[in-house]
Structure 1
Amino acid sequence: MMKKLGFSRCEVDTSVFYRRVGKGLIIVLVHVDDCTIAATSISEITMFKCLIAEHVEITDLGELHWLLGIEIKRDRDRRSISLSQHSYLDSIIRRYGFQDLKPVSIPMDTNVRLTSAQCPATTAEYAQMRDIPYHEAVGSLMYAALGTRPDIAFAVQTVSRFSTKPGPAHWEAVKRIFRYLKGTKDLWLVYGGNSKELLGYADADGSMAEDRHAISGYAFILYGGAISWSAKRQEIIALSTTEAEYVAATHAAKEALWLRSLVTEIFDTTLEATTLFSDNQSAIALTKDHQYHARSKHIDVRFHFIRWIVERGSIRLIYCPTDDMVADTFTKALPSAKVKHFAAELGLSLS
């Protein structure tokens, strides 16, 4: 039907449709039976509503204020758009009975190390955890971490690893995330900064976990707010910090290519090289140096994909000091000052 209306389906995201007429552009994002419309003029939106109403029954809810539990606020004077899951966070805090918990300033205690040794081992320990809604609580947190709260992504990734056999220590870590959200539920993810350039940050956890798998983290920021982020356990066991950082940069580069393809196709533009920041000089050198190295010859060829991307000019890998590495918040538990600093860098503010 969208093709009949003159729309093209985006090749890299099939839920996005767009149509260009002269200098005008209209974009339609579809999620099941919900549609979000953005266009260069109100007349384009009005025309689309009339056209689609001829084919299907629609309910016009007017200007966008809510979408999938996310509140959307637009400030035309400041030229900004803000996203919040305040109501959703309130609802899950009440659902699990955490209204009376004391708020904390960090989502994960830097002095606590979660391990499989803390999983239940006796009948009594299993009985203690039997009625604890661990899976449901972690699942509820995941929606917030994926939606508007990148600052809890690492903590949620960590507690989710123990979903099969959670212990009391793991449940306390989950409750701590809720306590953090209770104190920061008024934060909005704000877009509207002066920088129009797409910037990326890639980092890896230098201190390996008990299974020796490092954590890769990345974040991409546009107009002052994070548009894509990830905290993910690496599938390989890296033999050095350089290798872990190199793998993390490769994962970030793949996301950068997708974002570049999305922007290029919809807006019919040509982008300059996307800046990707890394805080490891050796990993940066490895992306540019194709010589034989005894310490890197074992790295799987698929992770050398980033070399071709850098050589082609799609990605520009730049060194960034660790204190300014935004992706650091996706790889480890941090003290309060850094949590607040990186949250602000990701675009989270009281709006």
Structure 2
Amino acid sequence: MMIKLGFSRCEVDTSVFYRRTRSGLIIVLVHVDDCTIAATTIALIMEFKVLIAEHVEITDLGELHWLLGIEIKRDRDRRTISLSQRSYLDSILRRYGFQDLKPVSIPMDTNARLSSAQSPATTAEFAQMRDVPYLEAVGSLMYAALGTRPDIAFAVQTVSRFSKKPGPAHWEAVKRIFRYLKGSTELWLVYGGNQKELVGYADADGSMAEDRHAISGYAFIIYGGAVSWSAKRQDIIALSTTEAEYVAATHAAKEALWLRSLISQVFDTTLDATTLFSDNQSAIALTKDHQYHARSKHIDVRFHFIRWIVERGSIRLIYCPTDDMVADTLTKALPSAKVKHFATELGLAAA
């Protein structure tokens, strides 16, 4: 139907439709039976509503304020758009009886060393955890971590690894994330900053992993707010910090290509090379050097994909000091000052 109305479907995201005319650009985002419309003029939006109503029954809810449980606020004077899940966070705090917990300033204790050894081993320990809603609570946290709260992504990734056999220590870590959210429900993900170009940060850390699998983290920011982020356990066991950072940069490069394709196609623009920051000089050198190295010859060829991306000019890998590495908060537990600093860098701010 959208095709009949003159829209094109985005090739890299099939839920995005767009149409360019002399009057301007209109973009329609579809999720099941919910549609969000953005356009360069109000007239284009009104025209689309009339056209779509001729084919299906619609309910016009007016200007966008809520979408899939996410509150959306526009400040036209400041030219910003802000997203928040505070209502959702309040609801899950009440659901699990955590509304009276004391707030904390970090989502994960920097001294915590969660491991499978803390899982129940005796009948008494299993009985202690029998009625604990661990899976449900972690699932509730995941929606926040994926939606508007990149600052809890690493902590949620960590506790989710123990979902099969959670122990008391794991449950305390889950409660700590809720305590952190209780003290930060008023944080909004804000877009509209001075930094207009798409930039990315890639990092890795394996110092806390009992199974030797490092954690890859990346974040991409445009107009001052994060649009994509990830905290994920690497599939391989890296034999060095350089290898772990190199693998993390490759995963980030793949996401950068997708974002570049989405922006280029929908907005009909040609992007300059996207800056991807890394805090490991050796990993950066490895992306540019095609020579044989005894210490890196074992690295799977699929991770050398980033070399082609850099050589083609799609991505520019630049060194960034660790203190400024935004993706650091996606790979490890950090002290309060760094948690607040990187949350701000990701676009999280109080209303």
Aligned CA distance change for structure 1 residues 23 and 250 (closer, same or farther; 3 Å): farther
Report whether the alignment pairs 1:223 with 2:186: no
Q: What corresponds to 2:97 in structure 1?
A: 97
Partner of 1:254: 254
Give the drift of 1:23.
5.2
Amino acid at match of 1:147: G
Asked if the contact 2:81/2:192 (under 8 Å) is kept, the reply is yes
In structure 2, what is the Cα distance between the partners aligned to 1:238 and 1:261?
30
> 1:35 is paired with a residue of what secondary structure?
strand
Structure 2 counterpart of 1:84, which letter? S
Partner deviation per Cα, 1:262-310 (whole Å, 9 max, x = no partner) = 0000000000000000000000000000000000000000000000000
Match of 1:65 in 2: 65
User: Could you tell me which residue of structure 2 aligns to residue 283 of structure 1?
Assistant: 283
Deviation at 1:233, TM superposition (A): 0.1
Q: For residue 46 of structure 2, what is the aligned residue in structure 1?
A: 46
Q: Which amino acid aligns with 2:154?
A: F
Relative to structure 1, the CA distance from residue 6 to residue 270 in structure 2 (aligned partners, 3 Å threshold; closer, same or farther) is same
Partner of 1:295: 295
Give the AA of the match of 1:2: M
Residue in structure 2 matched with residue 123 of structure 1 by the alignment: 123
Task: Give the whole-Å Cα distance in 2 for the aligned partners of 1:24 and 1:150.
Answer: 33
* 2:187 corresponding residue in structure 1: 187
Query: What is the alpha-carbon distance in structure 1 between the residues aligned to residue 34 and residue 168 of structure 2?
Result: 40
CA-to-aligned-CA distance 1:141-173 (integer Å, 9 cap, x gap)? 000000000000000000000000000000000
Provide the C-alpha distance between the structure 2 equivalents of 1:206 and 1:173, rounded to a whole number of angstroms. Answer: 19
Structure 1 residue 321 displacement after superposition: 0.1
Deviation at 1:100, TM superposition (A): 1.0
Q: Distance in 1 between matches of 2:251 and 2:4?
A: 38
In structure 1, the partner of 2:21 is 21
Q: Which amino acid aligns with 1:50?
A: V
Find the aligned partners of 1:96 and 1:195 in 2 and give their Cα distance.
39
Could you tell me how far apart the structure 2 residues matched to 1:65 and 1:73 are?
Answer: 6
Decide whether the 8 Å contact of 2:276 with 2:316 is kept in 1.
yes
Partners of 1:305 and 1:170 lie apart in 2 by 37
Partner residue, 2:87: 87
Give the letter for the 2:127 counterpart.
A
Q: How far does residue 130 in structure 1 lie from its aligned partner after superposition?
A: 0.4
- State the 1:206 CA deviation: 4.3
Q: 1:208 offset after TM fit, Å?
A: 4.8
Where do 1:86-165 residues align within 5 Å? 86-165=86-165
Shift of 1:195: 1.3
1:305 counterpart residue number: 305
1:2 pairs with 2:29: no
Q: 1:171-250 counterparts in 2 under 5 A? A: 171-250=171-250
Task: Tell me the TM-score normalized by structure 1.
Answer: 0.99
Report the alpha carbon displacement of residue 194 of structure 1 after superposing the two structures with TM.
Answer: 1.0
SS in 2 for 1:220: strand
Give the structure 2 partner of residue 348 of structure 1: 348
CA distance in 2: counterparts of 1:292 and 1:85, whole angstroms: 49
What 5-or-longer segments of structure 2 have no aligned partner? none
Cα distance in 2, alignment partners of residues 313 and 99 from structure 1: 50
Instruction: State the Cα deviation string for residues 306-348 of structure 1 (Å, max 9, x = none).
Output: 0000000000000000000000000000000000000000000
Q: Contact between 2:107 and 2:176, CA under 8 Å: does it hold in 1?
A: yes
Identity %: 89
8 Å CA contact 2:200–2:219 kept in 1: the answer is yes
* Paired residue secondary structure (1:184): coil
2:169 corresponds in structure 1 to 169
Distance 1:106 1:194 in 2: 28
Shift of 1:184: 0.3
Matched with 2:37 is 37
Query: What SS class does the counterpart of residue 183 from structure 2 fall into?
Result: helix
Distance of 2:23 and 2:259 partners within structure 1: 23
| Rounded Cα–Cα distance in structure 1 between residues aligned with 2:342 and 2:76 | 26
2: distance between equivalents of 1:124 and 1:347?
Answer: 45
1:22: how far off? 1.9
Give the gaps of 5 or more residues in structure 1: none
Deviation digits for residues 242-261 of structure 1, max 9, x if unmatched?
Answer: 00000000000000000000
